[in-house]
Chain A
């Protein structure tokens, strides 16, 4: 696309070296489990808020959504809104209660008043499944992205890039723990927001600060014409399509605040008030970011045009890089590419940390060692898990490279909304909720989500399916959330009502009082 591979590589390398140095400096005193998992809860609300947005804004958001707006217009914008609105749930229901109740993982909260072993195992399973799916999608995306930005087209070359991404991310986690990873998120989030804001201001300036003028020019540069500004291009062709989008929107708005790597970030602040502040900051960052992608998406259409975007390697994902080249030449393209690369690295590092914490804290320390594990050996297990998870992600990413795995990102949200949200809500608000109910809700949500997906058009029977030549799809929607989220709530209810087990009223009182006030948590 006219970019300069040497410049791109140079900017990447500088970014990796700087962040590795920061991680090294931040991580030298990583001794305790609390340091490794939660950065000693030493971050402030604003810092954690910026890091939250860094953890959350994947390359799929930056390149994917701006590209989707450039190609699908209104429907791309419609998709982006769920990513912002969803933070309200995190703000008002999840963040403060989670900070008060748990220490390091989701399992801490879910198992608080339940039988420890089965519930911790369930929480760890969900965390590992979601993290791995999400990571494989990111890693496969990294391959495609680097193909686009570095002009690497051989499968072997892309596999090497995926392996390098995996190794750097494991290094971040091993050397820096949560503190180092958080600083990577902060650096990346600031770079990303600065980059999109500058591009947006430039675009607005070019069109006389009139959004309407950008939209009008954009609509003249696409075969869709003015229709690009109206709903229906991407998600409106058939009734199934419409329902599919509603299912996706539901999973987005309910799933965000239940993603394990987002949940874990709330433990890096000292108390509930800072957790609340961090969501406020994150919401500002998200709103700014997605308003900018609106302008960038339509700006790409206005200045680059749909024909060039469609014919570029990488298709719609190349809209933002192409626009950067158009307005700032090879240097801005290099910067945008580096930011996109940083985005992938930071997100996968956050996921690796979350997965390793869940295994080491929930499975090793609380199940295998029954809560008697030596903190040092717990951290050792966590680091070892990070290496294993990193390897799995590299292998999975290479295997999935070239596949249409965009649905895996949406699946992670559906899984989080199905398996985590119902259990978090029930255990905080429903006195009778018990261990059986928790297990039914977790496994019911997780199982139904994966089961429905396996028989959906995303896996077989369509042109963009994983197995285009086979057809065993009978479930019409690619996004299972519309069914699996209510199903998980139903399972949790039935499991509780049908079991003879009574919940422990003293533990319930402790959890409720502690979740709202922090009494008993040792937090101030």
Chain B
């Protein structure tokens, strides 16, 4: 009678299931559980994910605060400083109308800037995080 072979005493069989995941085996670096499902807690803690979150924050937080201030400031100026906004600039076009049209310009500019930033700085980082899982192989 042969002795039953005990399963490897590793709590993380996901890392290749080899017991000692010290080699540079690409399969062993996946942050997935024993069924191949992503290990979200480990992913959330991974350097790649933290970098993605940092890149999103440094763009989105200032940009959102900025556009909200610019828009609400414009509305407040129109409400509380009508004389200033009524100053003519080009022909009968006054400062308020000019600022209003600039709201359109700034919205389009910020939209395109974000789209470009996302394409260049966020999407590759998303791919880096995704490559930690078996997500794109199925």
Query: A: which residues have CB within 8 A of B?
Result: 74-75, 77-78, 81-82, 84-85, 87-89, 91-93, 210-213, 215-216, 219, 226, 229-232, 235-236, 242, 245-246, 249-250, 253, 273, 276-277, 279-280, 283-284, 287, 290-291, 505-506, 509-510, 512-514, 516-520, 524
Given contacts A280-B111, A517-B130, A518-B130, contact A212 B79 (CB under 8 A): no
Measured between beta carbons, the chain A residues less than 8 angstroms from B35 are none
The complex places the Cα of A510 from the Cα of B44 at a distance, in Å, of 8
Cα–Cα, bound, A338→B78 (Å): 35
Q: Residue B72 at the A interface, CB < 8 A?
A: yes
Cβ–Cβ contact B107 & A519, under 8 A: no
Query: Given A92-B60, A283-B108, A513-B44, 15 more contacts at CB 8 Å?
Result: A84-B104, A92-B64, A210-B91, A215-B92, A216-B92, A230-B85, A231-B79, A236-B78, A246-B76, A273-B123, A280-B112, A506-B41, A509-B40, A510-B40, A513-B38
Which residues of chain B are near A505, meaning CB under 8 Å? 41
In contact, B91 and A85 (Cβ under 8 angstroms): no
Taking a contact as CB atoms under 8 Å apart, the answer to whether A81 and B114 are in contact is: no
The answer to whether B93 and A519 touch across the interface, beta carbons within 8 angstroms, is no
Contacting pair B126 A291 (CB below 8 A): no
Contact flag A88-B111 (CB < 8 Å), given A231-B79, A520-B38: yes
**Distance in Å from the Cβ of B72 to the closest Cβ of chain A?**
7
A267 CB to closest chain B CB (Å) equals 19
Q: B72–A91 contact, CB under 8 A?
A: no
Please give, as numbers and ranges, the residues of chain B lying within 8 Å of A277 by CB-CB distance. 115
A22 to B: closest C-beta gap in Å: 30
Query: Which residues on the A side are within 8 Å of B92 (C-beta)?
Result: 212, 215-216, 219, 226, 229
Q: A84-B104, A246-B79 are in contact. Are A506 and B40 (CB under 8 A)?
A: yes
CB contact list, B81-138 vs A, under 8 A? 82, 85-86, 90-94, 96-97, 100-101, 103-104, 107-108, 110-112, 114-115, 118, 123, 126, 129-130, 133, 135-136
- Whole-angstrom distance between the alpha carbons of A122 and B40 in the complex? 27
Query: CB distance B64 to A93 under 8 Å?
Result: yes
Name the residue on A nearest B136 (C-beta). A524
Is the C-beta of B56 less than 8 angstroms from some C-beta in chain A? yes
The distance in angstroms between the C-alpha atoms of A219 and B88, with both chains bound, is 14
B75 near A245 with CB under 8 A, answer: yes
Q: Is B21 at the interface (CB under 8 A from chain A)?
A: no
B93/A211 in contact, CB under 8 A: yes
> Are B96 and A231 closer than 8 Å at their CB atoms?
yes
> Contact: B64 with A519, CB < 8 Å?
no
Closest CB in chain A relative to B116 CB, distance in Å: 10
By beta carbon, the residue of chain B nearest A86 is B71
A-side contacts of B67, CB under 8 Å:
85, 88
Which residue of B has the minimal Cβ distance to A233?
B82
Quick one: which of B52-83 are within 8 Å of A by CB?
Answer: 52-53, 56, 59-60, 63-64, 67-68, 71-72, 74-76, 78-80, 82
What residues on A are CB-neighbors of B118 within 8 Å?
276
Known interface pairs A212-B93, A230-B96. Does A253 touch B68 (Cβ–Cβ under 8 Å)? yes
In the complex, how many angstroms separate the beta carbon of A408 from the nearest chain B beta carbon?
22
Closest 4 CB pairs of A and B: A212-B91, A230-B86, A510-B40, A242-B79
Using A210-B91, A505-B41, A520-B40 as known contacts, say yes or no to A245 and B111 having CB atoms under 8 A apart: no
CA distance A291 to B53 in the complex (A): 36
Residues in B whose Cβ lies below 8 Å from that of A232: 82
Q: Is the CB of B93 within 8 A of A514?
A: no
Instruction: Closest A residue to B86 by CB, please name it.
Output: A230
A to B CB contacts below 8 Å, 11 in the list: A75-B78, A81-B100, A81-B103, A211-B93, A246-B75, A250-B72, A253-B71, A506-B40, A514-B40, A518-B130, A519-B130
Q: How far, in angstroms, from A212 to B88 measured CA to CA in the complex?
A: 11
Closest Cβ neighbor of A218 among chain B residues: B92
Q: Which of A78, A246, A283 contacts B111 (CB 8 A)?
A: A283
In the complex, what distance in Å separates the CA atom of A324 from the CA atom of B81? 35
CA distance A513 to B12 in the complex (A): 20
Provided the pairs A219-B92, A230-B82, A242-B80 are in contact, do residues A88 and B40 lie with their beta carbons within 8 angstroms?
Answer: no
Size bracket, chain B contacts: 35 or more
Bound CA–CA A232/B63 (angstroms): 29
The answer, among A89, A215, A279, for a CB contact under 8 Å with B64, is: A89
Q: Which of B56, B64, B85, B107 contacts A231 (CB 8 A)?
A: B85
A125 to chain B, nearest CB (A): 28
Q: Hey, which chain B residues are within 8 Å of A93, CB to CB?
A: 60, 64
Contacts of B86 in A (CB 8 A): 229-231
Q: Could you tell me the distance between the alpha carbons of A250 and B71 in the complex, rounded to whole angstroms? A: 9
Q: Which residue of chain A has its CB nearest to the CB of B74?
A: A81
Cα of A136 to Cα of B15 in the assembled complex, Å: 57
* In the complex, chain B residues whose CB is within 8 Å of the CB of A516: 49, 52-53, 56, 126, 129
Q: Contact check: which of A85, A91, A283 meets B71 at CB < 8 Å?
A: A85
Please tell me if the beta carbons of A84 and B82 are within 8 angstroms of each other in the complex: no
Least distance between A328 CB and chain B CB atoms (Å): 26
CA distance A126 to B118 in the complex (A): 32
Could you tell me the distance between the alpha carbons of A212 and B90 in the complex, rounded to whole angstroms?
A: 8
Give the distance to chain B from A81, nearest Cβ to Cβ, in Å: 5
Q: A84-B103, A273-B123 are in contact. Are A231 and B114 (CB under 8 A)?
A: no
Q: Measured between C-beta atoms, what is the minimum distance from B57 to chain A in Å?
A: 10
Q: Is the CB of B110 within 8 A of A88?
A: yes
Q: Indicate if the CB atoms of B136 and A249 lie closer than 8 Å.
A: no
Residue from A88, A89, A236, A506 within 8 A of B79 (CB atoms): A236
How far, in Å, is A219 (CB) from chain B's closest CB? 7
Q: How far is the CA of A92 from the CA of B114 in the complex (A)?
A: 7
Bound state CA distance, A242 and B49, in angstroms?
A: 45
Q: A91-B111, A92-B114 are in contact. Are A517 and B129 (CB under 8 A)?
A: yes
